[in-house]
Structure 1
């Protein structure tokens, strides 16, 4: 073997080694999560929950890192790699040639992290191992989840209702519609809930009831949506209000009513007191004004002069007034000092 051949072999080995390392690195950085086993009944609708984590970047052996983006997602049946021209039950790039499956298989996910698949009107031929594959804009980043979902299809099943929670007034209760088979449990089924034969709005496998009351009592059943003769046995929910709780409720209502009545009485008394006080103040101002008017109008005057003459003027019979004027003559010796006569006035007022 020549030296050139040795160098070529050495370079080839390096490329193989690099490729293996890159493959395991890519596989470790990507992941797909879904249940391993799913059971469904013919004629029903089953949903397979699925999430995936794609590779964001990848480094090439001869260049810088490449930013990756998912460009294609696929679900295929009974194929290990699910690549190339492998028939798919769903392909984001190409429509399947199986028109029957195309109308019944619906992809509920996207190209960023959700790979949920739904199968309507399940048939016996749908029983298979389903695998999810994502493809990116760089071939090294393509990935197929190897384990897949083992879908089992049965002709009939028996549903049952189980519960979780406290059966007490005001509590919360969850009812679950489930079924068991020899191979796996039935999950993610589209079911219809009924109470005493009346259909409820809830459609999922779980029914949540919050703040339990006596009105929630009844017989609850579940059945597969659009599938006849799949109703479960009834689950009887009985909510009885205890006598003690009833007495406490009556006591509480009585206390609240009494408090409101007392408050209303206090407000009414306060309003009456304010009105009486305002009326009394108004009457006081009125009496004072009338008394002043009477005193100013009802006056009798009786004036007596020093010479004995009397002047009497009658105004009313309530008040009397008498005035006496007396002049005193002064001697001539005092005239120089005073210069005028002094006057003494006596007056008296009588009010009746």
Structure 2
């Protein structure tokens, strides 16, 4: 009985020791938008008396050796720069960040780590699956045809060909956030003010991506005619005011010059204070003509 208990404890100890080595990935598909970045969460564990000496990530698109041998998309022993960046640590975090995601990056990824103890190695099986897709924003006309005009009805729809339960859509116009959510932006009757650049941003816990579409709404022709008439009328009034001001200024300058010319008067009046009869000889100069007056 004692021997059986010893065997059971030994087996349990070996089983526990084996299960200490582990790698955990998200239990769901990871989606990414082409051209953007995506983070693949990952955690790992190993015996406390071990020390991690090498960390590896492999893509099963190119690695057919269960990630035991190269090629690797990331190798901590190599200084090669690529779109695959390890953002974890030597303790428990094995997160992989992929930049500038391309369609060819779709597939299964696995993490492998090696410790300083013989046979202290582990590859997380099965791996995590990455799906790369495009984000598209489309304009769906609900009324009207041809160029957009005031009163037309339409939808802007944001599509991503990837199922993700925790994703969300954020809309903005000319880099200003809109108080709306969901993949569809509805316009029951567009106006000229609705013209602009609309951006749909798709977000998850691991990635985000955005796409922009331009919306141009033509104004009512009759309304434009009214504005043209108003502008022309305002221009005529402005020209009349400027012309009147110029004429007034010229008349004012002319009147001032006239007064200065009239002020040039010469008067010479000799008087005999002792007699009853006085003579006045007045000479005036006005515009080049001499006027003489004899008064008795």
Report TM bin, short chain. Answer: 0.3 to 0.5
Choose 1 or 2 for highest CA Rg: 1
TM-score by length of 2: 0.44
More helix by share: 1
TM-score by length of 1: 0.38
